[in-house]
C-alpha cells in the first residue's frame, strides 16, 4: 500500500498529463499490469475522459479516495483483529486495580519507553514513581518522575504482547496524590491473546506485586478536600506498618480486638448462613493521645487490610457523599470515621474545649458586638457542624459492606455525645475505652524506648554503670512549655548502692509517673527527648510531672476563663437575635452608620446604668429595642462585664444632645475588637 501511494505521488509529480497520450499516465505510474491493472485502467480512462480539463485534479481526488478507503479498511481490519484476537480491559481511576496495574508497569520498566512524565519534588512512599539515582558525589536529587502513559506503550509480559494507554487528564497535583490522579482518568490494557485466562493471570500478577510491595506498609486512603465532592478516596498514603506490640494498652485489650477482627473476616460463611449482615462495628473512645488511631493502623497492618479514613467535618461531606464513599470501599477494607461525635448535637454549646486557640480567637472576634452586622452575627455564633445527619450516618453504618465483609471503626473523645441509636449492637459491636496512662503502661513504654538489646550495659548480667558516671546527658528538648528536664542530683539514682539495671529503671520510672494523669502520647513525647539516655529520662521524670501539673493547672484556668467568656458572648447574642427570644441589639442591624453608633452607645449606657442601679440619666435616652437590654435571655440583669466590650458614651451630656438634635455632636469611643 505504501509503495503504491509513493508511486502514485511520483507520477503526479513527474507526469504532465495534458500533453500526453491517455495510456501514458497509467504506464508512468507503473500500475498497468498485475494486481493494480484495473485501477490503472480506471485512471487512464478518467484521464482520457477529462483530458485537458483537470486531469491532475481527478487524479488527486482518486488518490485521496484510495488513501481514505485504505485507511478505513485498515481500521476495520484492526478492529476485527482486536475483537477476534485481543482481550481488552479498562480500569477506572480510583479503583484499587488501577494502582496494581500502574505498579506492574513500573516494575516491568515500561516507563523507560514513556516520553511523558510529571516531575514532583514531593517525596512520598509511592512505588509507581521513578526515583532519581544517586549522583557520583553521593548527593541525591529529591525528585520523582511519574510516567503519565498518555501515549500507547507496547511491552512483553510473560511472552504476550500487551498495550496500555491512559486516557483522561493528569496534572502535577494529581500525581502528588496518587497515580490515577483525580481527573477521572482511565487505563486501557490490551493483551494480544484469545485466552481470557491470560487476562486474569495478568491482574493476579499485578495484585500480587502490589501486596508484596506494600507488605511493610499500611495503605491509608483519604479524601482530598481540594478535589471536590466528585472524587472519592483520592489520596493514598503508604505508612510503615506498626507492630501490634508497639501499642501499649492494658493487658489483653489489643489481643481481643485483633482476635475479634480475625474471627469476623474468617466467618463470612457463618454470617451468610445465619442471615446476618457481614459487618462489624468498633468504637474506640477516650481522651486524645491515648492510642485510638494507632491501634487501627497497627490492626490494619497485622491483618493486611487497607484503611479508608473519613472525617465528617470535611467541607463537602454530606449524607449522599458519605453513602457513596462507604459503598466505594472494597471488601475487607477498614472504614474509619474519626471524631464521629461531630455528627451529633452538643449538650454544652459553650464548651470551648473543642476550640483550638485560633478558632476561639476567631469566635471572639466574629461575635464581637462592635463588629457584627445584621444576620452575620447569628451565622458566626453557630458552632461549625457537619452536613451529615444522624439518620444518614446510621443508614451508612447499617449498610457498610452488608455483604462485603467491611470493618467499621469510629473514634471519639466524647462518647457521652453519641446518640444511643448509634451504640446499639449491630452498629457498634465492640467498644474499647482508652484512658490516661497507668503506671504499668508508663513502664512498658519505657521498656520499648530502651530495650536491652540497645543497652546491654544495663542488662541484668551487664557491667553496671556507676551512678553519675560519664558526661551529663544534655537536657531533653522542651516537651511542655517552659520545661527543661535537667540533670538534677537524684537520691535514688545517685546512691552508691543503686543497681542501675533496666528493670530497676523501668520500675523507678513507672513509680514516678502518677497513675492516670498523662496520656501515652505525652509520655512518648517526653521519652523522645532521651533516646539514648535512660538514666537521665528517669532522673528528669519528676520535673516532667511537676511541669506537667503546672501546665495542666494553667490550661484549666484558661479553659474556665474562656468558657465564661464564650457563655457570656452566646447569651448576649441569643438575647439580641430576633426570633430567639431577643430583640435587635441596638445599632447592630444598621451598624457603621453614625446614628447607629449613637443608638448603640446610648442603649448600652442605659442598660449599664440600669444594671448597676445608677440613677437614670437626666435626659431620657431613646432606645430602639429597650426590652432586649435589661436581661439576657431571662438570665438576669446585664452585668458590667458583659457590657465591657460594648461602646461607651463619653458623658451623659452627649446623650442629652443625642435625643434632642440630629445630626448629633456625639463622640463614641469604640473599643478595639476583642479577640482575647
Q: Give the Cα separation of 190 and 152 in Å (integer).
A: 10
Q: Which stretch binds ligand ATP (CB under 6 A): 177-185, 312-320, 516-524, 563-571?
A: 516-524
Which residue, 264 or 434, is less far from ligand ATP as judged by CB?
Answer: 434
Q: Say whether residue 129 binds ligand ATP (CB under 6 A).
A: no
Among 291, 369, 473, 645, binds ligand ATP (CB under 6 A): 291
Which range of residues in 246-254, 567-575, 599-607, 656-664 is near ligand ATP by CB under 6 A?
246-254
By CB under 6 A, tell whether 587 contacts ligand ATP.
no
Sign of CA dihedral 632, 638, 643, 644: negative
Cα–Cα separations (whole angstroms), residue 211 to 88, 294, 328, 592, 666: 24, 21, 20, 64, 76
> Under the criterion CB under 6 A, does residue 225 sit at the interface with ligand ATP?
no
**Residue range at the interface with ligand ATP (CB under 6 A); choices 269-277, 289-297, 475-483, 572-580:** 289-297
Taking CB under 6 A as the rule, does residue 521 contact ligand ATP? yes
Answer positive or negative: Cα dihedral of 114, 116, 118, 119.
positive
| CA trace torsion 524, 530, 532, 538 (10° rounding) | -90
What is the rounded distance in angstroms from the CA atom of residue 479 to the CA atom of residue 21? 101
- Are 299 and 426 contacting, i.e. CB atoms less than 8 angstroms apart? no
**Dist. CA 373–CA 395, nearest whole Å:** 40
Q: Does 520 bind ligand ATP (CB under 6 A)?
A: yes
Nearer to ligand ATP, 341 or 599 (CB): 341
Residue 334 binds to ligand ATP (criterion: CB under 6 A): no
Task: Give the one residue of 190, 290, 386, 576 binding ligand ATP; rule: CB under 6 A.
Answer: 290
* Closer CB to ligand ATP, 279 or 292, in the complex: 292
36/526 with CB nearer ligand ATP: 526
Q: In the numeric block, which cell numbers belong to residue 654?
A: 452627649
Asked whether position 247 contacts ligand ATP by CB under 6 A, the answer is: yes
Spatial distance between the Cα atoms of 554 and 566, rounded to a whole number of angstroms = 18
**In the complex, least distance from residue 511 CB atom to ligand ATP, rounded to whole angstroms:** 20
Task: Report in angstroms how near the CB of residue 309 gets to ligand ATP at its nearest.
Answer: 11
Taking CB under 6 A as the binding criterion, the range among 94-102, 362-370, 479-487, 519-527 that sits at the site for ligand ATP is 519-527
Taking alpha carbons only, the member of 597, 593, 594, 603 closest to residue 643 is: 603
Instruction: From 455, 647, 621, 475, select the one nearest 547 (Cα to Cα).
Output: 475
Identity of the residue, 352 or 392, whose beta carbon is nearer to ligand ATP in the bound complex: 352
Note whether 524 binds ligand ATP by CB under 6 A: yes
Instruction: Give the range of 168-176, 480-488, 517-525, 663-671 binding ligand ATP by CB under 6 A.
Output: 517-525
Can residue 438 be called a binding residue for ligand ATP (CB under 6 A)? no
* 291 versus 603: smaller Cβ distance to ligand ATP: 291
Q: State the nearest-atom distance from the C-beta of 295 to ligand ATP, in Å.
A: 7
Q: Which is nearer to ligand ATP, 413 or 610 (CB)?
A: 413
Choice between 433 and 474, CB closer to ligand ATP: 433
Shortest spacing between CB 536 and ligand ATP, in angstroms: 21
User: Given the rule CB under 6 A, which of 192-200, 214-222, 245-253, 476-484 is the region that contacts ligand ATP?
Assistant: 245-253
166 grid coordinates? 491512559
Among 167, 193, 225, 294, binds ligand ATP (CB under 6 A): 294
Site for ligand ATP contains 393 (CB under 6 A): no
CA distances from 188 to 63, 164, 659 (A): 35, 6, 80
Q: What are phi and psi of 188, to 5 degrees?
A: -105, 125
Buried b / exposed e over 269-278, threshold 16 CB at 10 Å, is eebeeeeebb
Span near ligand ATP by CB under 6 A; candidates 375-383, 518-526, 559-567, 603-611: 518-526
Nearer to ligand ATP by C-beta: 292 or 547? 292
Tell me how far apart the alpha carbons of residues 90 and 190 are, in angstroms, rounded to a whole number.
9
Contacts of ligand ATP in 249-288 (CB under 6 A): 249, 288
CB of 412 to ligand ATP, least distance (A): 8
Determine if 293 is a binding residue for ligand ATP (CB under 6 A): yes
**Distance, CA of 380 to CA of 365 (rounded, Å):** 10
Task: Give one word for 438, left, alpha or beta, with left for phi > 0 and alpha for psi -120 to 50.
Answer: beta
Count of residues interacting with ligand ATP (CB under 6 A): 16
Residue 87 per-residue DSSP state: E
Q: Establish if 451 lies at the interface with ligand ATP (CB under 6 A).
A: no
Partner residues linked to 145 by β-bridges: 119, 130
Work out how close the CB of 445 gets to ligand ATP at its nearest, in angstroms, rounded to a whole number. 7
Determine contact, residues 450/505, Cβ cutoff 8 Å. Answer: yes
- Minimum distance of ligand ATP from residue 108's CB (angstroms): 37
Beta bridge pairs of residue 187: 91, 166
C-alpha to C-alpha distance for 243 and 273, rounded to whole angstroms: 34
- Please count the helices (runs of H) and the strands (runs of E) in the chain: 24, 16
Extract the C-alpha cell encoding 386: 457537619
Contact predicate 600/585, CB 8 Å: yes
Residue 292 binding ligand ATP, by CB under 6 A: yes
% helix / strand / coil in the chain, to the nearest 5? 45, 15, 40
Residue with cell 469611643: 669
**413 scored as a contact of ligand ATP (CB under 6 A):** yes
Q: How far is C-alpha 494 from the chain's CA centre?
A: 49
Minimum CB distance to ligand ATP, residue 411 (Å): 6
How many other C-beta atoms lie within 10 A of the C-beta of residue 529?
A: 21
Based on the shown chain and the rule CB under 6 A, indicate whether residue 311 belongs to the binding site for ligand ATP: no
User: Minimum Å distance from CB 289 to ligand ATP?
Assistant: 5
CB of 407 to ligand ATP, least distance (A): 17
Contact 217, 99 (CB under 8 A): no
Give the residue at shortest CB distance from ligand ATP. Answer: 291
Interacting residues with ligand ATP (CB under 6 A) = 246-249, 288-294, 413, 434, 520-521, 524
Amino acid at each position: 500500500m505504501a509503495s503504491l501511494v509513493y508511486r502514485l505521488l511520483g507520477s503526479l509529480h513527474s507526469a504532465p498529463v495534458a500533453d500526453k497520450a491517455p495510456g501514458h499516465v497509467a504506464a508512468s505510474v507503473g500500475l498497468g499490469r498485475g494486481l493494480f491493472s484495473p485501477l490503472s485502467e480506471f485512471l487512464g480512462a478518467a484521464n482520457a475522459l477529462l483530458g485537458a480539463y483537470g486531469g491532475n485534479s481527478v487524479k488527486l481526488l482518486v488518490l485521496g479516495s484510495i488513501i481514505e478507503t485504505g485507511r478505513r479498511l485498515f481500521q476495520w481490519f484492526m478492529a476485527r483483529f482486536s475483537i477476534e484476537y485481543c482481550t481488552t480491559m479498562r480500569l477506572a481511576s480510583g479503583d484499587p486495580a488501577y494502582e496494581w496495574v500502574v505498579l506492574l508497569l513500573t516494575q516491568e520498566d515500561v516507563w523507560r519507553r514513556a516520553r511523558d512524565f510529571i516531575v514532583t519534588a514531593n517525596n512520598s512512599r509511592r512505588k509507581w514513581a521513578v526515583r532519581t539515582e544517586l549522583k557520583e558525589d553521593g548527593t541525591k536529587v529529591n525528585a520523582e518522575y511519574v510516567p503519565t502513559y498518555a501515549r500507547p506503550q507496547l511491552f512483553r509480559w510473560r511472552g504476550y504482547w500487551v498495550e496500555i494507554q491512559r486516557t483522561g487528564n493528569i496534572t502535577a497535583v494529581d500525581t502528588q496524590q496518587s497515580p490515577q490522579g483525580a481527573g477521572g482518568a482511565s487505563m486501557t490494557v490490551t493483551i494480544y491473546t484469545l485466552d481470557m485466562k491470560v487476562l486474569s493471570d495478568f491482574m493476579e500478577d499485578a495484585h500480587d506485586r502490589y501486596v508484596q510491595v506494600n507488605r511493610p506498609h499500611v495503605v491509608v486512603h483519604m479524601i482530598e478536600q481540594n478535589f471536590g465532592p466528585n472524587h472519592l478516596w483520592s489520596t493514598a498514603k503508604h505508612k510503615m506498618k506498626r507492630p501490634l506490640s508497639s501499642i501499649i494498652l492494658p493487658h489483653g485489650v489489643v489481643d481481643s480486638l485483633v482476635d475479634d477482627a480475625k474471627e469476623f473476616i474468617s466467618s463470612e460463611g457463618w454470617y451468610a448462613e445465619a442471615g446476618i449482615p457481614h459487618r462489624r462495628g468498633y468504637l474506640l473512645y477516650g481522651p486524645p493521645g491515648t492510642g485510638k488511631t494507632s491501634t487501627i493502623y497497627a490492626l490494619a497492618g497485622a491483618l493486611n487490610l487497607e484503611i479508608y479514613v473519613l472525617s465528617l467535618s470535611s467541607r463537602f461531606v454530606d449524607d449522599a457523599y458519605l453513602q457513596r464513599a462507604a459503598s466505594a470501599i472494597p471488601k475487607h477494607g477498614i472504614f474509619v470515621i474519626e471524631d464521629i461525635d461531630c455528627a451529633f448535637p452538643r449538650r454544652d454549646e459553650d464548651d470551648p474545649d473543642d476550640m483550638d486557640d485560633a478558632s476561639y480567637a476567631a469566635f471572639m472576634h466574629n461575635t464581637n458586638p462592635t463588629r457584627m452586622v445584621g444576620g452575620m452575627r447569628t451565622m458566626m455564633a453557630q458552632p461549625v457542624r457537619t452536613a451529615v445527619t444522624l439518620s444518614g450516618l446510621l443508614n451508612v453504618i447499617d449498610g457498610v459492606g452488608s455483604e462485603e465483609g467491611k470493618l467499621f471503626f469510629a473514634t471519639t473523645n466524647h462518647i457521652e455525645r453519641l446518640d444511643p441509636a448509634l451504640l446499639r449492637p449491630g452498629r457498634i459491636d465492640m467498644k474499647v475505652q482508652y484512658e490516661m496512662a497507668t503506671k504499668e503502661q508508663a513502664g512498658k513504654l519505657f521498656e520499648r524506648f530502651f530495650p536491652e538489646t540497645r543497652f546491654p550495659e544495663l542488662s541484668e548480667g551487664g557491667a553496671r554503670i556507676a551512678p553519675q558516671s560519664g558526661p551529663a546527658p544534655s537536657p531533653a528538648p522542651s516537651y511542655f512549655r517552659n520545661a527543661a528536664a535537667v540533670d538534677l542530683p537524684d537520691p535514688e539514682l545517685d546512691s552508691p548502692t543503686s543497681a542501675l539495671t533496666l528493670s530497676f529503671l523501668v520500675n523507678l520510672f513507672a513509680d514516678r509517673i502518677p497513675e492516670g494523669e498523662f496520656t501515652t502520647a505525652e509520655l512518648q513525647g517526653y521519652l523522645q527527648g532521651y533516646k539514648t539516655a535512660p538514666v537521665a529520662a528517669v532522673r528528669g521524670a519528676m520535673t516532667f510531672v511537676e511541669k506537667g501539673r503546672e501546665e495542666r493547672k494553667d490550661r484549666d484556668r484558661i479553659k474556665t476563663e474562656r468558657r465564661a467568656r464564650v457563655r457570656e458572648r452566646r447569651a448576649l447574642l441569643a438575647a439580641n437575635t430576633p426570633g430567639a427570644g431577643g430583640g435587635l441589639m441596638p445599632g447592630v442591624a444598621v451598624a457603621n452608620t453614625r446614628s447607629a453608633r449613637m443608638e448603640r452607645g446610648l442603649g448600652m449606657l442605659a442598660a449599664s446604668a440600669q444594671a448597676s442601679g445608677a440613677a437614670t440619666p437626666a435626659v431620657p435616652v431613646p432606645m430602639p429595642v429597650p426590652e432586649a437590654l435589661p436581661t439576657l435571655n431571662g438570665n438576669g440583669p446585664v452585668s458590667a462585664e458583659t457590657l465591657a466590650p460594648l461602646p461607651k458614651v463619653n458623658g451623659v451630656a452627649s446623650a442629652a444632645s443625642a435625643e434632642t438634635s440630629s445630626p448629633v455632636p456625639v463622640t463614641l469611643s469604640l473599643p478595639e475588637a476583642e479577640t482575647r
